Amino acid sequence: MDSKFNITVRNCDLYYGDAHALKNVNIDVEESEVTALIGPSGCGKSTFLRMLNRMNDLVEDCRITGEIKIGEQNIYDKGTDVALLRKNVGMVFQKPNPFPMSVYDNIAFAPRTFGVWRRSKLDNIVESSLRQAGLWDEAKDRLRKNAMGLSGGQQQRLCIARALAADPKILLMDEPTSALDPISTGIIEDLINELKANYTIVIVTHNMQQATRISDKTAVFLLGEIIEFGKTESVFTNPKDKRTENYITGRFG
Amino acid sequence: MKTNAHKRQVLKYVVCKLIAQAALFVSLVALVIVMVFVLLRGVPHINMQFLFGEYSIRAPSIKPALMGTLYLIVISLVVAAPIGIGSAIFLAEYTNSKSRLVRLIRIAVETLAGIPSIVYGIFGYLVFVVALGFGYSFIGGGLTLAIMILPVIVRSTEESLLAVPRSLREGSFALGSSKVRTIFSVVLPCAANGIVTSLILAVGRVVSESAVLILTIGMVVDIVPKNFTSAGTSLALAVYGFSQRYPEQAAATGAVLLVLVVAINILATLLGKVFGKGELVDG
């Protein structure tokens, strides 16, 4: 993969069987920015997100046309190494999904996949990933305990640490705080603000305050289209599209 | 004020409840009578000589039958577990559950599970004992039992695999894991308890099976088997074997068998509880 990790999407359409889920999507995601995807349920935000690390490959009769580039590489080219793509493009899911194994083994999962087995090296990766995810102090004494014993908010930070351990360049987050209480949500939002220095972040959120708090740019999805994309501030204070205004003022969605 | 309609409702409720209670009572009593009868008749005749002593005409022992049962468990599990678990992995992870072929395979597996065991017995006799020339032997009986428990293992293993939440598979794929790594490092460990439970239940089937063995391992009650090609007997078969000449020993063998099967089922239930305890709770 190239050394640049900006995302360029051009004329992209996605179909689930006959359903046209994404319609002529165009967007540019710059490096080291947080891009928020907002819009009503079922409008294609998550589908779009899962297109960027090819998670939609797991869905049968999902068809994609158009161009999706990360750096200079079209990620849907035949020769694309999907494993390497997913290593570079980490993902955090809506519900925390730690593996039912120890905290340590969760974090070490991706490094082991990519051939890191030396204990000292793994120890370093585990510690630095947990520190980045702000979980080290809480987890350092229970690295060998099952991760399922952590609270929901801790589990989600563990999942972030697990994604960071793969050393990604881009982080995709699919409503990472929707299953969490306000305090855990605050912690994760602070974390996103810290992480954006080193990672390009694309985050789906239903919480518009959250989008204004954490994102640099915002894309508004409606029925599979991006109806507005721009600086978060201008999207929220001065929307160009009437439908955006209706959505952010709560008139539908 | 109670209306007539209300009274009728109450009456119906009470009658239905009584009928259900009576049915439960009868089935429990039947079970208890069988267990108490077998234990009362059998336990007084159980002693060290009977369990582990050398077999003699005056004091028959079940050492040959215990060894035989062990042989059968080992052979049938060594053969059926890898094949059964492999098939279940294929069905659960590599096929689309709606495809016609998979539905056909599933119907075939269900049918196999429903075939009377004596039919497996005659199959084993004709194929392993006669056609392949194994003669009456543990290997012939064990292979036949392996075929018989295969559908049990496939079905319950597949269920355990399908019970592993999709979110864990996605989590693994999203970290760049291959399908094989996902199956071996995430899905199988999560399903391990369920798989082990299914293997234990399969052992229960092996231990309690008799019809298959009458036709495949011969009924040599008095010699401890030397190896897998020996003829011999199992606990269940020994009950039948003893019943004519040694009714007391038959009852004692029955008691041993009963205790063994109950123990196996308790073990499976305990493991099932560990399995159900929420390691797999989604989210």
Question: Which tens digits make up the pLDDT trace of B217-227?
Answer: 887 777 777 77
List of chain A residues whose C-beta atoms are within 8 Å of the C-beta of residue B175: 86-87, 90, 109-110, 113, 162-163, 166
Picking from A56, A59, A99, A174 by the largest number of B CB atoms within 10 A of its own CB, the best residue to mutate is A99
CA B162 and chain centroid, separation:
21
B26-54 mean pLDDT? 87
Is residue B154 pLDDT above 70, yes or no?
yes
Is residue B2 pLDDT above 80, yes or no?
no
Mean pLDDT of chain B: 87
What per-residue confidence (pLDDT) applies to B42?
85
Which band of pLDDT confidence, cut at 50, 70 and 90, is reported for residue B98? Answer: confident
Mean pLDDT of chain A: 91
Q: Which residue of A has its CA nearest to B174?
A: A86
What per-residue confidence (pLDDT) applies to A252?
65
Cβ <8 Å between A163 and B282 = no
Q: Which CATH class is domain A7-248?
A: alpha beta
Q: Which of B175, B280, B283 sits opposite A109 (nearest CB)?
A: B175
Cβ <8 Å between B171 and A93 = yes
Cβ <8 Å between B283 and A97 = yes
List of chain B residues whose C-beta atoms are within 8 Å of the C-beta of residue A86: 173-176
Q: What is the CATH number of domain B48-280?
A: 1.10.3720.10
Burial B48-69 (b: 16+ CB within 10 A, else e): eebeeeebeeeebbbbbbbbbb
Its ipTM equals 0.92
- Token duo for residue A202: 């694309």
B193-199 mean pLDDT? 89
Interface of B with A in 69-128 (CB under 8 A): 96
On the CB side of A95, how many CA atoms lie within 13 Å of its CA?
Answer: 11
Interface of A with B in 109-148 (CB under 8 A): 109-110, 113-114, 146, 148
Rounded to whole angstroms, the Cα distance separating A244 from A43 reads: 13
Give SS3 for A140: helix
Cβ <8 Å between A87 and B175 = yes
Whether the CB of A53 is below 8 Å from some CB of chain B: the reply is yes
Is residue B181 pLDDT above 80, yes or no?
yes
What per-residue confidence (pLDDT) applies to A253?
52
Q: Could you identify the residue written with the tokens 């969760």?
A: A106
**Beta-bridge partners for A205:** none
Question: Residues B227-242: pLDDT tens digits?
Answer: 787 878 888 888 888 8
Residues of chain A with pLDDT under 70: 1-3, 252-253
Q: Computed from CA positions of residues B67, B72, B75, B78, in that sequence, does the dihedral angle turn out positive or negative?
A: negative
Count A/B contacts: CB-CB distance under 8 Å.
73
Question: Residues B105-136: pLDDT tens digits?
Answer: 888 888 888 899 999 999 999 999 888 988 88
Cβ <8 Å between A83 and B177 = yes
Q: Could you identify the residue written with the tokens 């004020």?
A: B1
Which band of pLDDT confidence, cut at 50, 70 and 90, is reported for residue B276? Answer: low
The most confident of A121-130, B50-59, B201-210, by mean pLDDT: A121-130
State which amino acid sits at residue A12. C
| Strand boundaries in A17-152, DSSP class E | 19-29, 34-38, 62-70, 73-74, 89-92
List of chain A residues whose C-beta atoms are within 8 Å of the C-beta of residue B176: 83-87, 110, 113-114, 166
Residues constituting chain B: 283
Whether the CB of A80 is below 8 Å from some CB of chain B: the reply is no
Distance from CA of B168 to the nearest CA of A (A): 6
Interface of B with A in 143-202 (CB under 8 A): 165, 167-168, 170-178, 181, 185-186, 189-190
Q: Which residue of A has its CA nearest to B185?
A: A109
Q: Which of A95, A109, A114 sits opposite B283 (nearest CB)?
A: A95
B67-87 mean pLDDT? 93
List of chain A residues whose C-beta atoms are within 8 Å of the C-beta of residue B282: 95, 97
Whether the CB of B280 is below 8 Å from some CB of chain A: the reply is yes
Which band of pLDDT confidence, cut at 50, 70 and 90, is reported for residue B278? Answer: very low
B275 or A10, higher pLDDT: A10
Question: Residues B139-148: pLDDT tens digits?
Answer: 999 999 999 9
**Beta-bridge partners for A90:** A171
pLDDT > 90: percent of chain B: 40
Question: Residues A150-183: pLDDT tens digits?
Answer: 999 999 999 999 999 999 999 999 999 988 888 8
Is residue B24 pLDDT above 60, yes or no?
yes
What per-residue confidence (pLDDT) applies to B1?
60
Whether the CB of A59 is below 8 Å from some CB of chain B: the reply is no
Give SS3 for A68: strand
What per-residue confidence (pLDDT) applies to B280?
43
Whether the CB of A160 is below 8 Å from some CB of chain B: the reply is no
A113 or B59, higher pLDDT: A113
Rounded to whole angstroms, the Cα distance separating A174 from A190 reads: 17
Distance from CA of B91 to the nearest CA of A (A): 16
Q: Which of A58, A60, A86 sits opposite B176 (nearest CB)?
A: A86
SS (H, E, C) chain B: CCCHHHHHHHHHHHHHHHHHHHHHHHHHHHHHHHHHHHHHHHHHHCCHHHHHCCCCCCCCCCHHHHHHHHHHHHHHHHHHHHHHHHHHHHHHHHCCCCCHHHHHHHHHHHHHHHCCHHHHHHHHHHHHHHHCCCCCCHHHHHHHHHHHHHHHHHHHHHHHHHHCCHHHHHHHHHCCCCHHHHHHHHHHHHHHHHHHHHHHHHHHHHHHCCHHHHHHCCCCCCCCCCCCCCCCCCHHHHHHHHHCCCHHHHHHHHHHHHHHHHHHHHHHHHHHHHHHCCCCCCC
Rounded to whole angstroms, the Cα distance separating B153 from B205 reads: 11
Contact A12, A75 (CB under 8 A): no
Is residue B275 pLDDT above 80, yes or no?
no
